[in-house]
A and B are shown apart, each in its own frame.
Chain A
Amino acid sequence: GQQLNQSPQSMFIQEGEDVSMNCTSSSIFNTWLWYKQDPGEGPVLLIALYKAGELTSNGRLTAQFGITRKDSFLNISASIPSDVGIYFCAGQGGSGYALNFGKGTSLLVTP
């Protein structure tokens, strides 16, 4: 699969702070997806992006599909303790359906 670089690897923030994480790829993707995984659970889809430049929100979450189609970011505003978890980006290229995942960003939020 194609390599996705996700950063930061981990974040430790206070409740109420905003969070930003991003993914970059050496290849062009047609789709970017952002997932959250809680311990002992499967990843849950947060936001899906399908067009370059697209900016999509889901509550306090906002994600954008980069213009170059090689990157995406996820912002979380006004973080709360239940935002704790591991966030994964995933990209889908044109040659097949398989998703390529980033290594994840571990988010810790202190009250």
Chain B
Amino acid sequence: EAQVTQNPRYLITVTGKKLTVTCSQNMNHEYMSWYRQDPGLGLRQIYYSMNVEVTDKGDVPEGYKVSRKEKRNFPLILESPSPNQTSLYFCASSSAGGRAGELFFGEGSRLTVL
């Protein structure tokens, strides 16, 4: 089954404790992206990657890091989480040559930073 898988789905952590949210897709998609969704603010892009070893900042990259060492994986790293990073996070992927605009989203990771 074609899918985007995020882990963990739910996490409660404390300020400053490094964490990684993994994202994996099995559709051989070139493009992957991370979003956060907050009430009243909608979906905001954190980072995206056009292909392996190619990453770029989105609208709200501060406090986050990403890497794209393999095509299927695009982990989101919070080196020193803070309470303002409490949010619902979505990973998404898309084929560069496929139907433009059709993003496939993971189920989301709800993160709480105390």
Are A and B subunits of one complex?
A: no
Which of A's residues lie within 8 Å of B, judged by CB? none
